[in-house]
């Protein structure tokens, strides 16, 4: 019978990478909690209309990348391609705007897009999504940049750059769209096939293309930043002053845009030269009209998403000392009858422990322990029970030492890292 394999673009995450995921979540939760953010769990599956209305019907995500299907009730549903739309729906449906002036929430989970898989990009990918509702102040924009810098620096990311820009308000974008459409009209044939479509549907996305031909075409193109209204210009300049107050270095990248229609004013990305072409691992921006456009009150919002899959590629392995991993090897029935007590004693003191559930020879159990890459093996046999001891073997150095079988002294030495095998 043929083996069933996982779908293209989906993967199993285990071992060192899952440890990095856990570290990213741990550090993010720490700072989010300190700044008053509450965690929320939102559905993976939503009505397709939610994403069409929020992300934009002309975007690549809605047109080409969503996993959508008709369910048994005849409704069109979609696996979420991003989290902001669902967070806005939850904000409106939960009536948060009636309960608190400012809402700070975050969620962690899988997103889904039918893209071409490559390094750091999968069809199921993992994000931490952070949103703030209720303030249009550029100080909140700066706070998010500071929050991102706290997380990234705590994770010891070495080569990163925070890039910022403004995409203005709808009036600014309408003015720019007319200007840019006239510019690009005579150059359409030089664009890639995707950008030819974007020129008609969503011209701003051309600036997001990474292909050399499209980059060269837009080298001397007009920029949205150059046609900003007075209010949007002031918002951006004030935002930069506040960022400076947080002592965070950013780069103003005038060509930076975001591929979703709902963005207004401040947009930003955090990139790393260690990630190749797909170099952004955090991205976000302001969306002051989205809540209203989704049927809610006229409440501004801003947020960002951390891509765990990409960020995990560039954070160092945590080499801080951890409690050793222990394997308990038992020989004979009397020793096995003591196994449950030993396991309980170790686990309740937060020591990772493994054992062989089937009766095996000591040699077989030592091979098992070696395959698990444990640090220590506790050997308990009939002779050890008679003597009231347990033998402790250091698997890295091959030396061993005896301890009283009451385990108290052994556990203290394990947790303190003070076992001396000399």
Is the pLDDT assigned to residue 6 strictly greater than 70?
yes
Q: In this structure, is residue 317 part of a structural domain?
A: no
Residue 259: pLDDT band with limits 50, 70, 90: low
Is the pLDDT assigned to residue 421 strictly greater than 70?
no
Tokens of 376: 């220590």
Cα distances from 270 to residues 24, 30, 273, 279, in angstroms, run 15, 20, 10, 8
355-360: long-range pairs with CB below 8 Å, 24+:
355/327, 355/328, 355/329, 355/330, 356/329, 356/330
Is the pLDDT assigned to residue 304 strictly greater than 70?
yes
Tokens of 169: 């308000």
Q: Please tell me the predicted confidence (pLDDT) of residue 190.
A: 75
Is the pLDDT assigned to residue 377 strictly greater than 50?
yes
**Helix axes 138-154 and 16-34, enclosed angle (nearest 10):** 140
329/166 Cα distance (integer angstroms): 63
Poorest-pLDDT segment among 84-98, 295-309, 384-398: 384-398
Count of structural domains, the chain: 2
Q: In this structure, is residue 73 part of a structural domain?
A: yes
Q: In this structure, is residue 161 part of a structural domain?
A: yes
Q: Same domain for 156 and 238? A: yes
Q: In this structure, is residue 316 part of a structural domain?
A: no
Tokens 């003597």 belong to 387
Kindly state the percentage of the chain with pLDDT values over 70. Answer: 96
248 neighbors 42 (Cβ within 8 angstroms): no
Q: In this structure, is residue 195 part of a structural domain?
A: no
Q: Same domain for 404 and 256? A: no
Tokens 């599956």 belong to 45
Give the mean pLDDT of 149-156: 95
Is the pLDDT assigned to residue 419 strictly greater than 70?
no
241/73 Cα distance (integer angstroms): 52
Is the pLDDT assigned to residue 260 strictly greater than 70?
no
Q: Please tell me the predicted confidence (pLDDT) of residue 45.
A: 96
pLDDT tens digits for 197-213? 777 777 777 777 777 77
φ/ψ of 288, rounded to 5, equals -70, -15
Q: Please tell me the predicted confidence (pLDDT) of residue 181.
A: 78
Q: Please tell me the predicted confidence (pLDDT) of residue 218.
A: 76
Using the 3D structure, point to which of 288, 311, 334 is the last residue of a domain.
311
382/148 Cα distance (integer angstroms): 57
Q: Same domain for 288 and 396? A: no
- Which element (helix H / strand E) includes 385? helix 382-387
Q: Same domain for 142 and 273? A: yes
Mean per-residue pLDDT of the chain? 88
225/173 Cα distance (integer angstroms): 10
Q: Please tell me the predicted confidence (pLDDT) of residue 384.
A: 84
Tokens of 351: 């020591």
Q: Which structural domain range is residue 84 located in?
A: 16-169+229-311
Is the pLDDT assigned to residue 359 strictly greater than 70?
yes
Q: Same domain for 272 and 155? A: yes
Q: Same domain for 338 and 263? A: no
369/357 Cα distance (integer angstroms): 12
pLDDT tens digits for 112-126? 999 888 777 799 999
Q: Same domain for 335 and 300? A: no
Q: Same domain for 243 and 346? A: no
Kindly state the percentage of the chain with pLDDT values over 90. Answer: 51
Poorest-pLDDT segment among 225-229, 245-249, 319-323, 396-400: 319-323
Cα distances from 113 to residues 192, 211, 321, in angstroms, run 21, 20, 38
φ/ψ of 196, rounded to 5, equals -65, -40
**Domain containing 334 — which CATH number?**
3.40.50.800
Residue 422: pLDDT band with limits 50, 70, 90: very low
Q: Please tell me the predicted confidence (pLDDT) of residue 50.
A: 92
Stronger pLDDT, 244 or 189, i.e. the higher one? 244
Give the mean pLDDT of 414-421: 64
Using the 3D structure, point to which of 245, 277, 311 is the last residue of a domain.
311
Give the mean pLDDT of 355-370: 90
Tokens of 129: 């999504």
Q: Please tell me the predicted confidence (pLDDT) of residue 268.
A: 96
pLDDT tens digits for 36-95? 999 999 999 999 999 998 887 767 788 888 999 999 999 999 999 999 999 999 999 999
Q: Same domain for 297 and 344? A: no
Q: Same domain for 246 and 388? A: no
Stronger pLDDT, 351 or 36, i.e. the higher one? 36
pLDDT tens digits for 133-143? 999 999 999 99
- Pairing state between β 280-286 and 103-112: unpaired
């Amino acid at each position: 019978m043929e083996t069933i394999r996982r779908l293209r673009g989906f993967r199993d995450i285990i071992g060192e990478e899952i440890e990095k995921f856990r570290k990213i979540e741990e550090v993010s939760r720490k700072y989010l909690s300190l700044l008053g953010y509450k965690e929320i769990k939102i559905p993976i599956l939503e009505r397709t209309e939610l994403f069409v209305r929020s992300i934009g019907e002309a975007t690549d995500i809605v047109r080409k990348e969503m996993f959508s299907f008709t369910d048994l009730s005849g409704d069109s549903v979609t696996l979420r391609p991003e989290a902001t739309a669902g967070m806005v729906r939850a904000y409106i449906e939960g009536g948060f705007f009636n309960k608190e002036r400012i809402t700070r929430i975050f969620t962690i989970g899988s997103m889904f897009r039918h893209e071409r898989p490559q390094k750091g990009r999968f069809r199921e990918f993992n994000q931490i999504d952070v949103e703030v509702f209720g303030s249009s102040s550029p100080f909140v924009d700066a706070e998010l940049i500071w929050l991102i810098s706290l997380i990234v620096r705590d994770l010891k990311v070495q080569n990163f750059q925070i890039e910022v820009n403004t995409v203005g308000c709808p009036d600014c974008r309408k003015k720019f769209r007319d200007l840019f459409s006239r510019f690009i009209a005579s150059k359409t044939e030089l664009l890639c096939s995707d950008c030819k479509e974007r020129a008609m549907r969503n011209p701003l996305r051309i600036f997001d293309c990474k292909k050399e031909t499209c980059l060269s075409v837009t080298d001397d193109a007009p920029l949205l930043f150059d046609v900003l209204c007075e209010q949007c210009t002031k918002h951006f300049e004030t935002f930069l002053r506040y960022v400076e107050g947080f002592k965070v270095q950013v780069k103003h990248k005038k060509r930076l845009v975001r591929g979703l229609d709902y963005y207004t004013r401040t947009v930003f990305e955090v990139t790393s030269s260690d990630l190749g072409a797909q170099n952004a691992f955090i991205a976000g921006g302001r969306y002051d009209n989205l809540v209203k456009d989704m049927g809610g009150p006229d409440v501004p919002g801003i947020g960002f998403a951390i891509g765990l899959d990409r960020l995990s590629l560039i954070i160092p392995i945590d080499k801080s000392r951890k409690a050793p991993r222990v394997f308990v090897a038992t020989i004979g029935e009397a020793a096995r009858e003591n196994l449950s007590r030993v396991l309980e004693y170790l686990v309740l003191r937060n020591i990772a422990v493994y054992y062989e559930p089937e009766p095996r020879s000591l040699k077989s159990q030592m091979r098992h322990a070696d395959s698990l890459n444990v640090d220590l093996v506790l050997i308990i046999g009939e002779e050890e029970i008679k003597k009231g001891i347990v033998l402790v073997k250091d698997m890295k150095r091959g030396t061993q030492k005896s301890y009283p079988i009451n385990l108290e002294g052994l556990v203290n030495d394990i947790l303190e890292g003070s076992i001396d095998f000399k």
